[in-house]
Chain A
Amino acid sequence: MGALARVPWGPLVLVAAFCVPAVGSRFYTFLANDIVIWALFATSLNLLVGVTGLVSFGHAAYFGIGAYTTGLLMKKLGLPFLLAFPAAGVLAGALALVFGFFCVRLTRIYFAMLTLAFAQIVWAICFKWNEVTGGEQGMPEIPYPSFDWVAALPLVGGWRTAEYFYFLTLLMVALCLWLLRRIVGSPFGRMLTTIRENAERAEFIGVNVRRYELAAFVLAGAFAGLAGGLFGIFNRGVFPDFAYWTKSSEVLIMTLLGGMGTFYGPAIGALVLIVLNQQITSYTEYWPFVLGVILVVLLFVFPGGLAGAAQAAVRRLGGVRRA
C-alpha cells in the first residue's frame, strides 16, 4: 500500500492522457476529451457531496451557465479563450453565490430539492430566452480557440485543431484539479469535512457552518462552470439540456460510481461511465437498463464506489502480505 501510494499517479495519468492523440485514433481523442471535462465536472460536485456532505441535485445549472458564458463570449463577442474561459468560472460562481445563499439555509432533502429547483429555473431561462441563448435550438458553431500561433511553434506543430483543443483541455483540467486538490487538503477543506461529519459539533468549534457551506457551494459552482465552458467548445455548440436535471443526475452517478470518499474517485467514475456507455450502446439500445443494474450492484456491493473498493482491496492485499 505504501509503495502504491508513493507513485505520482496524477502526473503519470496526465502524461498518459497527453499521448492519446499520438497512439489512438481521432475517436479516442474525442472520447478522452469528453472524459476529461466530465472528470472536472464530477470532481467539482464532489466538493459538495463527498467533502462537505451536501447532496446537490442541480449541479448542471453551473455547468450550463459556464457553457453559455464561454460560448456567448467567444461566438458573439469574439473574445479570446483566455478571457472567455475564466469568465465561465466567475459567472457560474456568482450565480452559485446567489442560489447558494438560499440553499444553505435548508438541510438534507430540502437542500437537494432547492438546488434542483434553481437548476430547472436556469434550464427554463436557457430554453426560452431566444435572443441571447438561441432558445430551444441552442447556440451551434462555437468557434475553437485560435491555435495558429501554437501550430507555428517548432516541435508541437502538425496536430489538428480538435487535438490542440484536447491538449488545452488537459492543461486546464489538470490546473483545476490541482487547485481543487489543494482546497480539499487545506484547513478550509478540513473545516468542510467537519461539517460533513457533524455540523452541530463543527458549529461549536467555532465554524460558521452556513458560511462555509456557501463558500463550498460557490467554489463547486465555479469549477463546474469552467468544465461547462470547455464542454461547449468541445461539443461545438451549447444547448439548454446542458443545464437539464438529467445532466445533474449523470454527474451525481459518476461521483457515486467512482466513490465520493476519495479525491480522484469521481474522475474515475466519469471515465468508467463514459467508456461503459460507449461500449454498451454499441451492443444494445438498453443502456439505461444496464446503468440501473450497475447502480444497484454498486449501492449494495461497493458503497464506497470503485475507488473505495480498490482501496479496500489494496488494503486487504497489503494485510495478507504482511501476515
Chain B
Amino acid sequence: MRKSFDGFLAVGGVSLTVERGRIAAIIGPNGAGKTTFFNLVTGHLKPDTGTVLLDTRDVTGLAPHDVCRLGMGRSFQRTNIFPRLTVYENVQAAFLSHRGRGRNLWSRVERLYREETEALLASLGLLERAGETSGFLSHGAQKQLELGIALASEPSLLLLDEPTAGMSATETRETIRLVEHIARERGLTLLFTEHDMEVVFSIAERITVLHQGRVIAEGTPAEVRADAEVRRVYLGERR
C-alpha cells in the first residue's frame, strides 16, 4: 500500500500479511509510518494504491464503522474512550453497537448485555471500577478500558497502536501479559505497534520493521534481531 500527504510519502509500498491466530508487531522509529499504516487498514484513511484484505474479503476504502463490523477491532495511540461515561457504559456501548442494538429506540439500555460487559471487565481487572467515570481513570486503566472497548466488538483481527504508550514499567508488563493472554484465549489475530523492544520481542511471532515508510526487514524476532540493516537504522540508534 502507498499513501502520501501533500507530496510527503508516509507509507510507500508496504505489504504485510498476518496469518490467522498469529501475533505480529510493526516496529520502527517515530515517523516511520506505523500509525498511517494502521489508519489505512482500518479505513480511517484511503490508500493511494493497494488493497486491504480481511480473510479473503476486500475491505479497501470501506468506512471505519463497516470495517469494524466485519471483524476488525482497534485501539488508538492517543487514548480514545468515552470520557464522561462510566467504565461499564464504555464497554456496554461497544456490545450494543456490535450486536446491532443501536437502532432500538425503546428498550431500557441499563440491563442489556450486563453479563457480557461484566465478564469482559472482570477479565481486564476493571470490574470493581465499573461505576467510575472513565475520564477520571489513570492513564494505564484508560488504555486497558480501550482494549475492552475493542474486544467488545468481538474482532477476529485486533490492531493495537502502542498499547503501552505512557505506561509505567509495571503497567506495561501487566498489560502485555493481559493482551497476550486474551489473544491466545480467544484465538485472535493480533497486530500491534510498540516502542518498547522488550515487549515486542517477548510476545511477537512475526516482526515487520518500517523505516521512512518502507519495510526494511521482516521475519521472526531472531531474524529481525540479527538483521544488519535493522541494527543500523533502528536498534542501533537506541543504544
Chain A contacts of B76 at CB under 8 A? 200-201
State which of A11-19, A189-197, A234-242 sits at the interface with chain B. Answer: A189-197
User: Of the 9-residue stretches B106-114, B176-184, B188-196, which lies at the interface with chain A?
Assistant: B106-114
Q: Are A187 and B42 in contact (CB under 8 A)?
A: no
Q: Which of A200-221 contact B (CB under 8 A)?
A: 200-209, 212
| CB <8 Å contact, A185 and B82 | no
> A193 to B85, Cβ gap below 8 A?
yes
Does the CB pair A203–B65 fall under 8 Å? Answer: yes
A205 touches B152 (CB 8 A): yes
Q: Which of B61-83 contact A (CB under 8 A)?
A: 63-65, 68-69, 73-74, 76, 80-83
What is the CB-to-nearest-CB distance from B196 to chain A, in angstroms, rounded to a whole number?
A: 24
Contact of B89 among A182, A185, A186, A190 (CB under 8 A): A190
B153/A206 in contact, CB under 8 A: yes
**Given A205-B153, A206-B68, A208-B65, A185 and B80 touching (CB < 8 A)?**
no
- CB pair B103–A198 under 8 Å, yes or no, is no
Q: Is the CB of A187 within 8 A of B98?
A: no
When A201-B149, A205-B97, A205-B98 are in contact, do A188 and B68 touch as well, CB less than 8 Å?
no
* B31 interface contact, C-beta 8 A: no
* Most chain B CB inside 10 Å of its own CB: which residue of A183, A207, A212: A207
Which of chain A's residues have a CB closer than 8 A to the CB of B96? 187, 190-191
- Is B20 among interface residues, defined by CB-CB distance under 8 A? no
Cα A313 to Cα B149 with chains together (Å) = 33
Contacts of B107 in A (CB 8 A): 186-187
For residue B94, CB closer than 8 A to chain A, the reply is yes
Q: How far is the CA of A212 from the CA of B93 in the complex (A)?
A: 14
Cβ of A202: which chain B residues have Cβ within 8 Å of it?
82, 97
- Given the known inter-chain contacts A191-B97, A208-B65, please indicate yes or no for A186 contacting B82, CB distance below 8 A: no
Q: Which residue in chain B gives the minimum CB-CB distance to A203?
A: B64
Find out whether the CB atom of A206 lies under 8 angstroms from the CB atom of B103: no
Evaluate contact between B84 and A186: CB separation under 8 angstroms: no
Contact of B105 with A182 in the complex, beta carbons under 8 Å: yes
Report which residue of A187, A188, A194 has the largest number of chain B beta carbons within 10 angstroms of its beta carbon: A187
Sample 13 A-B pairs with CB under 8 A, ordered by A number: A182-B106, A185-B110, A186-B108, A187-B101, A189-B105, A190-B92, A190-B109, A193-B82, A202-B97, A204-B73, A206-B65, A207-B65, A207-B102
Is the C-beta of B56 less than 8 angstroms from some C-beta in chain A? Answer: no
Cβ of B104 under 8 Å from chain A: yes
Number of interface residues of B (CB under 8 A): 36
Report chain B residues within 8 Å CB of A186.
104-109
Q: Are A191 and B93 in contact (CB under 8 A)?
A: yes
Which A residues are CB-close (under 8 A) to B89?
190
Instruction: For A198, give its contact among B82, B101, B153 (CB under 8 Å).
Output: B82
In the bound complex, what is the Cα–Cα distance between A185 and B69 (angstroms)?
Answer: 24
Partner of B69, one of A197, A206, A209: A206
Residue contact A204 to B105, C-beta cutoff 8 Å: no
Shortest Cβ distance from A201 into B: residue: B80
Residue pair B108, A204 in contact (C-beta under 8 Å):
no
Identity of the chain A residue whose Cβ is nearest the Cβ of B92 in the assembled complex? A190
Query: Complex formed: what's the CA distance from A182 to B84 in Å?
Result: 21
CA distance A117 to B60 in the complex (A): 36
The 5 closest A-B pairs by CB, nearest first: A197-B82, A205-B94, A206-B68, A191-B102, A187-B101
Contact at B103–A188, with CB atoms within 8 Å? yes
Chain B residue numbers with a CB within 8 Å of A206 are: 65, 68-69, 94, 97-98, 153
Interface readout for A175-188 with B: 1 if CB under 8 Å, 0 if not? Answer: 00000001101111
Q: With A and B bound together, what is the CA distance between A200 and B102 in angstroms?
A: 17
Neighbour of B102 across the interface among A182, A187, A201, CB < 8 A: A187
Chain A residues contacting B102 (CB-CB under 8 Å) are 187-188, 191, 207, 212
**Cβ–Cβ < 8 Å partners of A197 in chain B:** 82-85
Query: A198, A200, A204 — which one has the most chain B CB atoms within 10 A of its CB?
Result: A204
Q: In the complex, which residue of chain A has the Cβ closest to the Cβ of B85?
A: A197
- Closest Cβ of chain B: how far from A96's Cβ, in Å? 16
B82 lies within 8 A of A204 (CB): no
CA distance A27 to B73 in the complex (A): 60
Q: How far is the CA of A204 from the CA of B39 in the complex (A)?
A: 11
Chain A residues contacting B85 (CB-CB under 8 Å) are 193-194, 197
